Chain A
Amino acid sequence: MENKPLLEVKNTGIQFGGLKAVQNLNMVLNQGELVGLIGPNGAGKTTSFNLLTGVYVPTEGDILFNGERVNGLPPFKVTRKGISRTFQNIRLFNDLSVLENVKVAYHSLAKHNILSSVFRLPAHFKGEQEMEEKSIEFLKIFSLDKYKDELAKNLPYGQQRRLEIARALAAGPKLLLLDEPAAGMNPQETKDLMDLIAFIRDKFDLTILLIEHDMNLVMGVCERIYVLDHGQLLAEGSPEEIRNHPKVIEAYLGEEVHDVNA
């Protein structure tokens, strides 16, 4: 924990016209941590993700990844630096097969250029072969390999979520951002997902930041939690601290007034 943080968000914010969607966001993520980001609807959680991944350019502050500024870079460059994400509403390549979905993520790791593909030079076959083998290996880790030729849109919902995580991992990130990975899942699927998240963190030596509404999931797997409300950081701490934090209770349940049987 003493060494340089992997991700440092310094006083970052974004303004859309007169609306300050996120302001004064300060976050520090260390290598190997599993951190949660929670908050009521409209608190700015997904906006924060969009700031981190370059979808939005912050109007104030800086985002340092591995000590390097990443704000202002286009999303594809941020991904190549090692920040990859999933989406709240699943964004798979629906008409591509499961295997191809993962292969797309390997794209920037393969090196053969357009000419070698057009003329079918040896580099093309080598590169494509490598992409295919690596992608299949990946699908095996997520036990999706039996679906590899299935179209992504034909997978059951829970599997689509898993595929999206697999695809994000295939891009080779150091920091993985998961936007509501358990949304719409039943308790059993959520349980499996929690195990999966813990597993991939150890297996790939990842740092994970996840947005979640499911309190069980957040409290169960996260080591630290940031709470956002109205675009501002409300609290930060261990799950236990957050659970008992008066401001958090207020934001989630409304002000604690008098009676219990209200």
Chain B
Amino acid sequence: MKKSKQFWPFIIVAVLVYTVVQILISNGMLNQFYSNTLILIAINIILAVSLHLVIGITGQFSIGHAGFLAVGAYLSAIVTMKLHLPFVVAIIVGGIVAALAGLIVGIPSLRLKGDYLAIATLGFAEIIRIVFLNIDAVGGAAGMQVSHLTTWTYAFVCLVITIIVIVNFTNSRHGLAAISVRENEIASDAMGINTTYYKVIAFAIGSFFAGVAGALFSHNFYIIQPSQFGFLKSFDILIFVVLGGLGSLSGAVLSAILLTVVSTYLQGYPETRMIIYSLVLILVMLYRPKGLMGTMEITDYFKLWRTPKGGGQHGK
């Protein structure tokens, strides 16, 4: 049994990226602004990849991802600020509670399909936001103060774990079952696959990592407010996935990097920011209607990873 071919190269690249950035940060060559942007990129990649599992792999069109981000953000903030537990515990708690929220939302709503599912998830995300808005213990609309604990190390380790878990899930019989649900739910059912189970599992795993991202997100600013988790945030995440190419994990990663950089850079031009951002989206969709990567993975280009479109045999 050979190990997967791309696993060690991936780890080596990850360690290299981490070390270089960490050295640059500790040397002071990357100032606060840049290191914050890098952390933001990592958080956005986690969000994009976790939603990719739900939309790109399992084919369930959910636009309520910000709701699970909010759950992770608030719960982890409570753990560090009110219970004074370490940040690592907060990240795990944020993820687990978000996954539970995902189960609660997913079990009833994943019976729906397409547009109806989208609306239901959007509604649930709004409910979650309104709940936090009305709990005084977490500051209500004014928000909650959170200490700055997220570092490049935390963000990067979470990112690597997210990618490994989601890639491993996708490239197994379970991932194949999830993809078969996306491809043709009726046939998948007829092949003996418990489609509801896989939809719910994918949704829960996606929510878990959204919660992890939420923990990193809340501890990266000094304050969190319910208004940060509105449906526009959900759409931001959705855009990462769609722009990257539905079904392509590396596409989601690339577009999360690209769009985070574009929007950070454009903060200097507040008047034209949204116009340029929108133009970028329109241009990409015009010239790459299937997203940046289509359904290809970046490794397909290197011929290291002969994954048929939509994930597949690996570990051989």
B190 near A79: Cβ-Cβ < 8 Å:
yes
CB contacts (< 8 Å) of A100 on chain B: these are 176, 179, 308, 312-313
* A96-B193 contact given A104-B180, A107-B176, A122-B1, CB 8 Å threshold: no
Contacts A93-B184, A117-B168; A107 near B179 (Cβ below 8 A) = no
Contacts of B220 in A (CB 8 A): none
Q: Output the nearest chain A residue to B308 by Cβ-Cβ distance.
A: A97
Q: Are B187 and A107 in contact (CB under 8 A)?
A: no
Closest chain-A Cβ to B123's Cβ sits at a distance in Å of 27
**A224 contacts chain B at the CB level, 8 A cutoff:** no
Task: Check A96/B173 contact, CB under 8 A, given A87-B187, A105-B192.
Answer: no
- Which of under 10, 10 to 19, 20 to 34, or 35 or more describes the interface residues of A? 35 or more
The reply on B258 being an interface residue by CB < 8 A is: no
Which residues of A are found within 8 Å of B195, using beta-carbon distances?
76
Q: Is B227 an interface residue (CB 8 A)?
A: no
Contact with B187, one of A93, A126, A129 (Cβ below 8 angstroms): A93
Kindly identify which residue among A94, A96, A106, A168 contacts B312, using a CB–CB cutoff of 8 Å: A96
A109-137: CB near B (< 8 Å → 1, else 0) gives: 01010100111101011111101100000
A92 at the interface (CB under 8 A from B): yes
Q: Are B176 and A120 in contact (CB under 8 A)?
A: no
- Do B169 and A117 touch across chains, with their CB atoms under 8 A apart? yes
CB distance from B17 to the nearest CB of A (A): 22
Indicate which residue in A103, A107, A120 contacts B315 across the interface (CB closer than 8 Å).
A120
Q: Contacts A93-B184, A104-B177, A118-B165 hold; do A76 and B192 have CB atoms under 8 A apart?
A: yes
A7 CA to B201 CA, complexed, in Å = 34
Q: Write out the residue numbers on chain B whose beta carbons fall within 8 Å of the beta carbon of A124.
A: 172, 315
Q: Is the CB of B180 within 8 A of A117?
A: no
Q: Are B310 and A95 in contact (CB under 8 A)?
A: yes
When the two chains form their complex, are residues A99 and B313 in contact, meaning their CB atoms are under 8 A apart? yes
Check B177 against A84 for contact (C-beta < 8 Å): no
CB-defined contacts of A92 to chain B, threshold 8 Å: 184, 187
Question: Which residues of the partner chain A approach B176 to less than 8 Å between Cβ atoms?
Answer: 96, 100, 103-104, 107
Q: For residue A117, which residues in chain B have a CB less than 8 angstroms away from its CB?
A: 168-169, 172-175
Q: Verify if B189 is at the interface (C-beta below 8 Å from A).
A: yes
CB contacts (< 8 Å) of B174 on chain A: these are 114, 117
Please tell me if B309 contacts chain A, counting CB pairs below 8 Å: yes
Q: Which residues of B contact A93 (CB under 8 A)?
A: 179-180, 183-184, 187-188
**Interface size class of chain B, counting residues whose CB lies under 8 Å from the partner chain:** 35 or more
Report the separation of the CA atoms of residues A112 and B169 in the bound assembly, to the nearest whole angstrom.
12
Residues of chain B within 8 A (CB-CB) of A122 are 1
The reply to whether A85 and B169 contact each other, CB–CB distance below 8 Å, is no
B307 and chain A: residue at smallest CB distance: A97
CB distance from A241 to the nearest CB of B (A): 32
Given A84-B190, A125-B315, A151-B308 in contact, is the A96-B172 Cβ separation under 8 Å? no
What is the distance, in angstroms, from A91's C-beta to the closest C-beta of chain B?
4
Instruction: Give CA–CA (A87, B191) in the complex, Å.
Output: 12
A157 to chain B, nearest CB (A): 17
Q: Check if A129 sits within 8 Å of B1, measured CB to CB.
A: yes
> Are A74 and B189 also in contact (CB < 8 A) when A94-B183, A104-B177 are?
yes
* B315 in contact with A95 (CB, 8 Å): no
- Binary flags per residue of B200-213, CB closer than 8 Å to A gives 1, else 0: 01000000000000
Closest Cβ neighbor of A119 among chain B residues: B168
> Is B194 part of the binding interface, using a Cβ–Cβ cutoff of 8 Å?
yes
Roughly how many angstroms separate A114 CA and B208 CA in the complex, as a whole number?
Answer: 15
Tell which of B190, B191, B201, B295 touches A95, judged by Cβ atoms closer than 8 Å: B295
List, in ascending order, chain A residues with CB within 8 A of B177's CB.
104, 107
Cα A112 to Cα B175 with chains together (Å): 13
**Cβ of A53: which chain B residues have Cβ within 8 Å of it?**
190
| B172, B195, B295, B312: most-surrounded residue (chain A CB, <10 A) | B172
Expressed in whole angstroms, the minimum distance between the Cβ of A126 and any Cβ of chain B is 7
Which residues of chain A from 53 to 104 have any CB-CB distance to chain B below 8 Å in the complex? 53, 55, 74-76, 79-80, 84-85, 87, 91-97, 99-100, 103-104
* Interchain residue pairs with CB less than 8 A apart (5): A76-B191, A100-B176, A114-B172, A128-B172, A149-B306
Give 19 A-B pairs besides A94-B184, A97-B312, A103-B176 with Cβ atoms closer than 8 angstroms.
Answer: A55-B186, A87-B187, A93-B183, A100-B176, A103-B173, A104-B176, A104-B180, A104-B188, A104-B193, A107-B193, A108-B192, A117-B174, A118-B168, A120-B3, A120-B315, A124-B315, A131-B173, A167-B191, A168-B191
